[in-house]
Structure 1
């Protein structure tokens, strides 16, 4: 029975199931319906864009589930509000096969009244849709997509995580197959090339060819399948990409080697096939790891918040999921717990650690009517607050959303090798084809003796020589080889570069933005001045005992100071220990004679509360200790500047690189640090969002921005920078989103990062130049027939060796 093509999906089907309509043929009612829909809406130009390509027939769906898209639970979980007041959702559109599918979906969505924006990513099929919910329901958008033969469902990060894990596993298996086979092929190649110069029997050579064939075949068709797939989709979208060049070069060499294997005169190049696939596949695997890391980062950030909150209603406490919290609910949090959503205190008071948001190293005292922010930690007391923002719109959730956008939209830096390779691919393939045509039709015989070969084989050998000699191995190695050596040198200095591309970006940077706390400063309070009015060791032990009962950063710092100054400090048994929020502590001590001592330790306000009038003026953090209303000791603390901070600032300024400091601390502290380090541009009281916006503005001024930070509050700014640098002691989230990690947490290593990156980038440019000159000289020789494939392969290897040797100069001081 004959087969015919459907006028919509272009798939062939049996004539007996055809739906005939005038001169039109459809394989099903779904295709017929979509065809007329597009005709009626004036979208039939879709078929011109589709060309001869085929698509899947419309998905048969039951619309009984459509009401769920308008349910409050679904909208709360997946729909967010834009700054303009519109609704926004991320959808995965199922059934997309090509650019024409993208065009059709975007076109029909934009033509739908109420749609403000519809952007679909061809690689991921992820669509971001913004609409006016007063004019259009989400269910109507889903029905519109379904009406043209596609399906849509809400993007879920857990689904994305599964897909990313699957892709990582698949790439790893393919890469390991390629590596194992290539290593064995290279062992056989050593024997083959040695025999070329010293002599080898035909039987042995044939056995080597068979062994290389058996090993290279799974590399090409299993490990290299992703390049064939990438080349296919590139061609479908009228692009000649690097995948196409890799697939063509490897396949041509493989086909020629098959000729040799089955009796043609010459040498096989199965080893080249294997190495081309293996080298490029390793790079692809690193990209997949980067995508998986981004998803893991978001999951890690989200996991730092509690999943539930304690809500007080009608004098009863009930545990409620964060998504179910409503504005106006009263939430209770105990000491040590995280604030789940933004709110206003209605009962109690206490100190809150806001370092995750502002970078401020000192806890902030909050009382009734003060605002508390999600992600901050209640340090010392029970507090109740009224919810003022939903979970989705709270401060920490907003930071997560910004971070997700930054990770998804951050463009990959294109290296010069990749830019050159785009045109290089088309040029080499065109030259190889032209060479074959000229040799085949004009029978040129300018080079080596091809006696015994027919016209086709001779032409094919010369054309393959052009592809092999111009194979972009040297060009492809130019950047990664220098980068690999550069990265190994950086690692010796305690520097971890997550991707080689950041070497080039760091070398080109013209602006460095520093966080203050934990980056330019040590990130912990230290005693800078201590005064003992009565240094009786017995009284010092009472102070030490009081400090031991507190987890406040000030208490911990003074405790460390006492331990370094005195030996064998003894902890006394204190009674009635009280924590006075944001002021200090008090306790009672009774000695063996049952004599009672009232001891207090804290700030000046605490002493006033206990009717102790003691004047103490200082711009630093102050801690006073008193026994029976008499001050025994005073301490002044501050966050000290790192020893190597001034050196890195001077180095950058001498290189004409702009230096900026952003901090969540107050103006007084920021001004003092900036003055000591000679930083002319600094900005105090910065939030995570304002830091990120500042980075964005710098990039609009064509600045290549390096951001150096260490806290969760820096994570959004780090992802918006061109290069994100984190200290080895940074928060896990900062390490996850960073591009470079200073493992030893010293700023001296940042200076070394700039020095080695500049040196490496210099040799990358030299390698690129050497590769281009090599191709300019050797390609014409191969086209003229003066280079047989064996010499072409050796020449290609020589060019690669030249690149490697030049890159090794990075190690030289």
Structure 2
């Protein structure tokens, strides 16, 4: 076994916090571990005779070392309370909730099968699969069913489920991408080779080609096409098998029948020396279909790359007070009642009650607003907030999956899982179409078997090949992919097809304020000066140099020559700064309330939040605020011209919300809205039958972004907002909202054309093929041309 890194946990290889003295016995020697959870898992591995796991793992790549060996994935280790602390959330009553990552999900039939299997278990209250993230949200009664039992049930129907880890999404995409590249590369190479040989066969149709040469070309084509049918086309077979297992029909079923039918008939023709071969069609169809799915995967992966879950940025260690002094402890070991110390600039690791006299915390990832919030003794501070000033003490009230942050994540996942997908509609239509084609193909075979048995197979194959809905299956994905790439060039990332589904009936676009309609960066937007502006700028810059408050940032550089104060400047918490000039003049710089302690009758204009004053007069009034985005007004006006209603929903103060709404001409606005309040407003609009889009960037916007019919955010938004949003705007232009609408409308036109052509072709060619008036090779060529026409039409979206 490789040498274990010093002070690293024997199981997870992470650093062991100071003061932790837990061990497990391995090969008759005690091995140190970082927490009770790792201790329990390691003991379970050893007890089950799987100690070889520790001998063969790669210690040079600890981040790639699995926490559990594959053999343990279905054992009872996930029922251990210490392990469950990391992924199980306790709900009201006796219920628990968890997110599981499920592999091998390929279509809506898979999701249906998984949900049905789990909901049949006594004790499972709810099971919902989100196709886009391949994540399962399950709620259960632990007194009736265990996590391990649910995982075993899923394994029994061919799906591997594991507790969700934030970094699994990227790893999953990496595996899928590599698999597609291998399959696509093989299909592409085979297509080029077989097509060159096919030209000779097509030429032989109208001229004499000696039988020996023909048989040789057939044999070589068989060699090239066999790896394609056995390896490259596997995703279609798996999709078809899972659809049939769920007693449904999807587009993979006719695709698989066509590929396997054409291959079987071709192999038969090669060995019998008579008939037709379709090896070029097999390779070409597989290449086209894989190309479409690969492009979809790339677009989705690029979009989700910007959506790293905020939980991955939570601290792994916390400083806990003990009778012997402070100690470092893993966050997952924190218990209710523990007292932790959070230094300036550190992220708070758990929800708790503030024990210190005062704290300034940045809750922008929770509230979406960038102004720091003041908390005093006894008030609640939440995990994910950042301590802005001096060290603070917190009594833990909730940790791990019980925090406010974890609750918002769970709420967002639930909304995501229940969102309708346009692909479900397409699969339903294709299911009816496929059922009809299979029935007609069967009737055709029986009819020709009665009339001319020697032609029954070839005519039936011509029906299946000619009417196989490959063009239908490409109609939506190619149009969607074209739209995604078109928007990517404009700096807009689209994760799915929801935009196409909702744009046709768009009624309301709801906006957050800070970071959405505004820049999200504090600027000096206005000022009123009484004294000399150069002198007041020097005073303000000199005083703000001693402040760490975010509002001070745009004021520190007002003057190139800040005033040099000889006496120490006094910081009055929550109010401002107090200083004495070198000539003995007393000054205050801060809020209006702070200034009115000196000047009760001071005439301070509303909205001006930084005031400079002496004991006798106000010297300057400054308005430090988020600036409106340059294109905010134009974006709102264009939406109004399109007949789209706009609303402003923000967690910010009502006065600032009203001011922004009036500047932009937004007539409906709501301030001081919590995440639940925002979610309620969106649901109320939807209950009125309205199609709602949401544009936001804060972590508290995650649930409403997931609930809305379509959601947008910016690249510099909170990670959770980017996870929940359907569209991520990289260009930082609010006008991209209108670009999305325009592109979606064009995409719907292209998609409608694709569907019309595909259905028209299939309906027209069906009677011709069923009557035996079209040769199988001509049916294959027609099918190829039909698919190529759909692809070519969709390519217009790249150019326009």
Q: 2:543–2:577: 8 Å Cα contact kept in structure 1? A: yes
Q: Which runs of 5+ in 1 are unaligned?
A: 1-60, 444-454
Which residue among 776, 792, 796 is the counterpart of 2:783? 796
Pair 1:679-2:655 in alignment: no
Q: Report the equivalent of 2:652.
A: 665
Which residue among 141, 144, 149 is the counterpart of 1:131? 141
Q: 1:87–1:131: 8 Å Cα contact kept in structure 2? A: yes
Which residue among 751, 765, 768 is the counterpart of 2:738? 751
Alpha-carbon distance, 1:297 to partner: 8.0
Shift of the 515–176 alpha-carbon distance from structure 1 to 2, 3 Å rule, reads farther
Shift of the 573–554 alpha-carbon distance from structure 1 to 2, 3 Å rule, reads same
Q: Report the equivalent of 1:399.
A: 408
Shift of the 694–189 alpha-carbon distance from structure 1 to 2, 3 Å rule, reads farther
- SS of the residue corresponding to residue 365 of structure 1 reads strand
Alpha-carbon distance, 1:125 to partner: 11
Pair 1:480-2:467 in alignment: no
Which residue among 585, 589, 592 is the counterpart of 1:601? 589
Shift of the 516–406 alpha-carbon distance from structure 1 to 2, 3 Å rule, reads same
Shift of the 286–403 alpha-carbon distance from structure 1 to 2, 3 Å rule, reads farther
Q: Which runs of 5+ in 2 are unaligned?
A: 1-70, 104-109
Q: 1:478–1:768: 8 Å Cα contact kept in structure 2? A: yes
Pair 1:424-2:433 in alignment: yes
Q: 1:661–1:683: 8 Å Cα contact kept in structure 2? A: yes
Q: Report the equivalent of 2:551.
A: 554
Q: 2:299–2:484: 8 Å Cα contact kept in structure 1? A: no
Partners of 1:328 and 1:271 lie apart in 2 by: 70
Partners of 2:566 and 2:356 lie apart in 1 by: 29
Which residue among 508, 513, 517 is the counterpart of 2:514? 517
Pair 1:526-2:514 in alignment: no
Q: Report the equivalent of 1:544.
A: 541
Offset from partner CA, 1:647-700 (integer Å, 9 cap, x none): 333333444434332111122222222233333333221223433344344445
Which residue among 597, 607, 620 is the counterpart of 1:633? 620
Partners of 1:462 and 1:292 lie apart in 2 by: 42
Partners of 2:345 and 2:746 lie apart in 1 by: 48
| 1:290-689 → structure 2 map (5 Å cutoff) | 300-314=309-323, 316-414=325-423, 417-443=426-452, 455-456=453-454, 458-500=455-497, 502-535=499-532, 537=534, 540-559=537-556, 562=558, 576=568, 579-586=571-578, 600-607=588-595, 611=598, 615-625=602-612, 632-689=619-676
Shift of the 808–375 alpha-carbon distance from structure 1 to 2, 3 Å rule, reads closer
Shift of the 517–196 alpha-carbon distance from structure 1 to 2, 3 Å rule, reads farther
- SS of the residue corresponding to residue 398 of structure 2 reads coil
Alpha-carbon distance, 1:221 to partner: 0.7
Q: 1:490–1:496: 8 Å Cα contact kept in structure 2? A: yes
Alpha-carbon distance, 1:518 to partner: 1.4
Offset from partner CA, 1:491-546 (integer Å, 9 cap, x none): 34332223355334434433322111111222223323223444374663453344
Partners of 1:139 and 1:741 lie apart in 2 by: 35
- SS of the residue corresponding to residue 310 of structure 1 reads strand
Q: 2:647–2:667: 8 Å Cα contact kept in structure 1? A: yes
Which residue among 114, 117, 125 is the counterpart of 2:125? 117
Q: 2:694–2:704: 8 Å Cα contact kept in structure 1? A: yes
- SS of the residue corresponding to residue 487 of structure 1 reads helix
Q: Report the equivalent of 1:768.
A: 755
Q: 1:249–1:467: 8 Å Cα contact kept in structure 2? A: yes
Alpha-carbon distance, 1:768 to partner: 0.9
Q: Report the equivalent of 1:173.
A: 182
Alpha-carbon distance, 1:231 to partner: 2.5
Partners of 1:70 and 1:744 lie apart in 2 by: 46
Q: 2:544–2:552: 8 Å Cα contact kept in structure 1? A: yes
Alpha-carbon distance, 1:188 to partner: 4.8
| TM-score of the two chains, using structure 1 as the length reference | 0.76
Alpha-carbon distance, 1:783 to partner: 0.8
- SS of the residue corresponding to residue 769 of structure 1 reads helix
Partners of 1:83 and 1:231 lie apart in 2 by: 40
Pair 1:279-2:279 in alignment: no
Partners of 1:120 and 1:726 lie apart in 2 by: 25
Q: 2:682–2:692: 8 Å Cα contact kept in structure 1? A: yes
Q: 2:506–2:690: 8 Å Cα contact kept in structure 1? A: yes
| TM-score of the two chains, using structure 2 as the length reference | 0.77
Partners of 2:192 and 2:618 lie apart in 1 by: 76
Partners of 1:516 and 1:254 lie apart in 2 by: 59
- SS of the residue corresponding to residue 303 of structure 1 reads helix
Alpha-carbon distance, 1:788 to partner: 0.8
Alpha-carbon distance, 1:403 to partner: 3.0
Partners of 1:768 and 1:676 lie apart in 2 by: 44
Partners of 1:811 and 1:292 lie apart in 2 by: 19
Which residue among 703, 708, 712 is the counterpart of 1:716? 703
**How many residue pairs get matched?**
718
Q: 1:88–1:131: 8 Å Cα contact kept in structure 2? A: no
- SS of the residue corresponding to residue 336 of structure 2 reads coil
Structure 1 stretch displaced more, 334-343 or 321-330: 321-330
Q: 1:337–1:378: 8 Å Cα contact kept in structure 2? A: yes
Partners of 2:135 and 2:684 lie apart in 1 by: 30
Shift of the 433–762 alpha-carbon distance from structure 1 to 2, 3 Å rule, reads same
Alpha-carbon distance, 1:758 to partner: 0.9
Partners of 1:198 and 1:628 lie apart in 2 by: 107
- SS of the residue corresponding to residue 741 of structure 1 reads strand
Partners of 2:116 and 2:519 lie apart in 1 by: 54
Partners of 1:573 and 1:550 lie apart in 2 by: 14
Alpha-carbon distance, 1:262 to partner: 4.2
Alpha-carbon distance, 1:767 to partner: 1.9
Pair 1:223-2:232 in alignment: yes
Shift of the 204–556 alpha-carbon distance from structure 1 to 2, 3 Å rule, reads farther
Shift of the 303–469 alpha-carbon distance from structure 1 to 2, 3 Å rule, reads same
Q: 1:607–1:614: 8 Å Cα contact kept in structure 2? A: no
- SS of the residue corresponding to residue 679 of structure 1 reads coil
Offset from partner CA, 1:186-220 (integer Å, 9 cap, x none): 45556665776798776665555444333322121
- SS of the residue corresponding to residue 510 of structure 1 reads strand
Pair 1:258-2:255 in alignment: no
Q: Report the equivalent of 2:163.
A: 155
